[in-house]
Structure 1
């Protein structure tokens, strides 16, 4: 018997504040199949879905799902079904699910599917339980079938990061597909990165009571290291100036 979804309390993020949007250039462009522009509008919808679901380094020609694109263009599937196909595709599973823990994968999918950050660690635990009990397909179906997804995106709108612009910041929130690394913190520690490379010399602070006083040999250590020892140069004699006949003794 599958366990029910663990309850978690939503916190008051900016995505939950009604009437918050302020028109401007930083607002995300909404790709909706019901209001497509003339020309290659469907191509823009497809690439918007790739940018939202895949990260920037995963948008490769080999990762494209040609069958899903053809079905979307013919009207046989909706945008929500196209998003579902991308989440269940083999490239997305290999590069995101297989390379992370369930907690990290749940956080990543909530960001890219629901367009917001996770509320708390409890929400990540709740969705990770769904992954264990129902697998990746059951987890994706619950995300796409949730009331939050249907109210904000429905069947025709490509998911996007909601409420990116924050008044208390100059540049707002960083897009999820740029700020979220491929590996979680646990796997990054195992792999040993990111590694800190010091570009300049480290200056260590020493309290005044611990500084060396007069007569302490430590005060002369730097001076001794800076003095290069003088060596006696070895004279070089040219072979052309040597007189071998004069050096031979006479008999």
Structure 2
């Protein structure tokens, strides 16, 4: 018997609130779509935008490219949605993101990059982590790509993007998802963490003002006796 998706409430998040920014400003995301392409250079920009959204910018390497999928997209044999699915189901994405994270972190990262928003709450993170544990990563990815939320915002021909990057005030927004540092890989995690830390400066201690000994305190005479003992 398969485990159904757990129910979770939708908490209010910034991307679900009406925008008050001026239209056409720098805060507005640029839409990359295969509709009405005017030149071959635009398909290159679309492919780059897909890699930048699905992979962190720290992970865009020659080894992460999917040249076969790129060729299919260029000749209109697959949609952007198919291309996104091919990228996120690739062995490179799995090695760099899924294999070195727990299911909770994987859920958070995939929702950010596929649906363009943060997780609603811990309940949503738990619900989808159960799906990954019981049915696998591919089923979880298909649920996101076939959801009404994805289809209504991106459809088959729009590259996913971070839907809202401003919270309340200008220049005080969230960090774009594709600029967040990814989880460290296995080669680093295998090393003892404390062994990598070092501090060459002097070690200073802080004592609150109320804990410092006052005039006439026996602690002052004790420290004086200790100094005399070493003379």
Q: Give the TM-score of the pair, scaled to structure 2.
A: 0.84
Query: Match for residue 205 of structure 1?
Result: 207
Contact 2:58 2:182 in 1 (8 A): no
Structure 1 residues 2 and 155 mapped into 2: Cα distance closer, same or farther (>3 Å)?
same
**1:21: Cα distance to partner?**
5.0
Contact 2:167 2:174 in 1 (8 A): yes
Query: Matched residues in 2 for 1:128 and 1:157: separation?
Result: 27
Query: Match for residue 247 of structure 1?
Result: none
**1:170: Cα distance to partner?**
2.8
**1:43: Cα distance to partner?**
0.4
SS in 2 for 1:154: coil
Structure 1 residues 54 and 126 mapped into 2: Cα distance closer, same or farther (>3 Å)?
same
Query: Matched residues in 1 for 2:126 and 2:13: separation?
Result: 19
**1:165: Cα distance to partner?**
1.9
Query: Match for residue 64 of structure 2?
Result: 63
2:27 is the alignment partner of 1:26: yes
Query: Match for residue 53 of structure 1?
Result: 54
Query: Match for residue 80 of structure 1?
Result: 81
Query: Matched residues in 1 for 2:123 and 2:165: separation?
Result: 23
Give the CA RMSD over aligned residues. 3.2
**1:46: Cα distance to partner?**
0.3
SS in 1 for 2:12: coil
**1:198: Cα distance to partner?**
8.4
Query: Match for residue 103 of structure 1?
Result: 104
Contact 2:58 2:181 in 1 (8 A): no
**1:150: Cα distance to partner?**
0.4
Relative to structure 2, which stretch is displaced further, 174-183 or 99-108? Answer: 174-183
Query: Matched residues in 2 for 1:209 and 1:90: separation?
Result: 59
Query: Matched residues in 2 for 1:196 and 1:143: separation?
Result: 43
Q: Which runs of 5+ in 1 are unaligned?
A: 230-251
Q: Give the TM-score of the pair, scaled to structure 1.
A: 0.78
Query: Matched residues in 2 for 1:45 and 1:199: separation?
Result: 49
Q: Which runs of 5+ in 2 are unaligned?
A: none
**1:11: Cα distance to partner?**
1.0
Query: Match for residue 135 of structure 1?
Result: 136
Contact 1:86 1:92 in 2 (8 A): yes
Query: Match for residue 16 of structure 2?
Result: 16
Tell me the alpha carbon deviations over residues 23-50 of structure 1, each in whole angstroms, 9 at most, x when there is no partner. Answer: 2112221101114342400000000000
**1:211: Cα distance to partner?**
2.0
Tell me the alpha carbon deviations over residues 120-170 of structure 1, each in whole angstroms, 9 at most, x when there is no partner. Answer: 111111111111222111111111000000000000000000110223363
How many residue pairs match? The answer is 224
Structure 1 residues 8 and 178 mapped into 2: Cα distance closer, same or farther (>3 Å)?
same
Structure 1 residues 27 and 19 mapped into 2: Cα distance closer, same or farther (>3 Å)?
closer
Query: Match for residue 216 of structure 1?
Result: 221
- Map residues 184-199 of structure 1 onto 2, 5 A cutoff: 192=193
Structure 1 residues 69 and 16 mapped into 2: Cα distance closer, same or farther (>3 Å)?
same
Query: Match for residue 3 of structure 2?
Result: 3
